């Protein structure tokens, strides 16, 4: 039970990090296009 919860929490953390990186990449791309 505890192991499953820990795995779910870690998976959620990874999802949050990936989402943050994607958002940051999209923001950088938009800024580059805007500057150009």
Per DSSP, the residues of 12-27 read HHHHHHHHHHHHHHHH
Compute the CA torsion angle 13, 14, 20, 21 (nearest 10 deg). Answer: 160
Q: Smallest Cα–Cα separation from 11: which of 22, 23, 25, 19?
A: 19
CA 9 – CA 23 distance, rounded (Å): 21
pTM: 0.62
Supply the range of the domain harboring residue 30.
1-36
Per-residue pLDDT tens digits for 1-36 = 566 667 778 889 999 999 999 999 999 999 999 998
pLDDT for position 22: 98
pLDDT for position 28: 98
Indicate the number of domains in the chain: 1
CA 23 – CA 32 distance, rounded (Å): 14
């Amino acid at each position: 039970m505890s192991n499953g919860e820990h795995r779910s929490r870690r998976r959620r953390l990874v999802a949050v990090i990936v989402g943050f990186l994607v958002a940051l990449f999209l923001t950088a791309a938009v800024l580059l296009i805007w500057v150009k």
